[in-house]
């Protein structure tokens, strides 16, 4: 990290922020990822609406549908996260620069987190309109907190898996096959934390133990990703 930090201390933007800005600019320019995630999520809500044959869902059932849908939608971003780096020489361009390689991990995880946040800005109200029975207004704050922690897990694990997948021929398969099982503990914790919030006249604060599980899971995989990411960029 020394070079990146040194650069930042001389008034330069830190390398991770440089890469993140480039990724956001590319996404705004091409609109290849977030719109697809939004359309996918809304389509899944419609499918659940007709598939379940019910006007609305609530509680643990609603939490499960929301979290699973967001998780599946995240796979679209995970599969594309490093594609431009692989296909357009972005890896080489980055690796030739005198910056710490973990800057790429931080930038990509931040980009994935922001993609998830952008998705949820549309998908969660869409879920409330299409499927959810109880109103969301009074639990919006706790809902955002739970989703932010869940997005942290998606961002860190997704970046790690995407960096592995992009080195392989079967990158579209590696993301779901490796990534989804790793996300199961985060999925369980997020769904359990959201369940009590999505009940009419239910709790307005999520269960603390599940928030703690989510936070610890985020931290664990952040450390794992930091430890192994350099090796993933090796030839």
Nearer to another protein, 63 or 163 (CB): 163
Binding of residue 206 to another protein (CB under 8 A)? no
Residues 71-100 that bind another protein (CB under 8 A): 84, 88-90, 92-99
Cα separation, 225 vs 4, in Å, equals 18
Binding of residue 26 to another protein (CB under 8 A)? yes
Nearer to another protein, 1 or 188 (CB): 1
- What are the residues whose beta carbons fall under 8 Å from the beta carbon of 233, sequence distance 6 or more? 91, 95, 101, 104, 163
Binding of residue 15 to another protein (CB under 8 A)? yes
Contact 17/107 with Cβ under 8 angstroms?
A: yes
Bridge partners of 132, per DSSP, are: 57
CB of 199 to another protein, least distance (A): 45
CB of 95 to another protein, least distance (A): 6
Binding of residue 25 to another protein (CB under 8 A)? yes
CB of 17 to another protein, least distance (A): 9
- Residue 223: both structure tokens together: 């450390």
| Total number of residues that touch another protein (CB under 8 A) | 27
DSSP 62-107: HHHHHHHHHHHHHHHHHHHTTHHHHHSSHHHHHHTSSS-THHHHHH
CB of 3 to another protein, least distance (A): 7
Contact 123/38 with Cβ under 8 angstroms?
A: yes
Binding of residue 168 to another protein (CB under 8 A)? no
Nearer to another protein, 26 or 148 (CB): 26
- What are the residues whose beta carbons fall under 8 Å from the beta carbon of 156, sequence distance 6 or more? 109, 218, 221, 222, 225
Interacting residue ranges for another protein, rule: CB under 8 A: 3, 7, 10, 12-13, 15, 18-19, 22, 25-26, 29-30, 84, 88-90, 92-99, 234-235
């Amino acid at each position: 990290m020394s070079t990146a930090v040194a650069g930042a201390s001389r008034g330069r933007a830190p390398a991770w922020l440089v890469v993140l800005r480039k990724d956001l600019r590319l996404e705004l320019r091409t609109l290849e990822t977030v719109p697809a995630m939004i359309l996918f999520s809304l389509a899944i809500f419609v499918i659940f609406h007709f598939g379940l044959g019910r006007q609305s869902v609530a509680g643990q059932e609603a939490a499960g549908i929301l979290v699973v849908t967001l998780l599946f939608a995240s796979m679209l971003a995970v599969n594309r996260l490093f594609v431009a780096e692989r296909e357009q020489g972005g890896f080489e361009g980055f690796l030739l620069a005198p910056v710490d390689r973990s800057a790429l991990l931080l930038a990509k995880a931040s980009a994935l987190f922001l993609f998830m946040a952008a998705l949820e800005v549309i998908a969660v109200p869409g879920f409330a309109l299409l499927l959810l029975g109880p109103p969301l207004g009074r639990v919006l704050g706790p809902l955002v907190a739970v989703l932010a922690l869940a997005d942290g897990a998606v961002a860190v694990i997704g970046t790690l898996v995407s960096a592995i997948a992009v080195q392989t021929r079967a990158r579209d398969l590696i993301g779901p096959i490796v990534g989804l099982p790793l996300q199961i503990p985060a999925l369980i914790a997020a769904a359990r934390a959201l369940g009590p919030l999505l009940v009419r006249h239910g709790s307005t604060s999520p269960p603390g133990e599940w928030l703690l599980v989510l936070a610890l899971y985020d931290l664990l995989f952040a450390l794992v990703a930091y430890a192994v990411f350099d090796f993933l960029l090796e030839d």
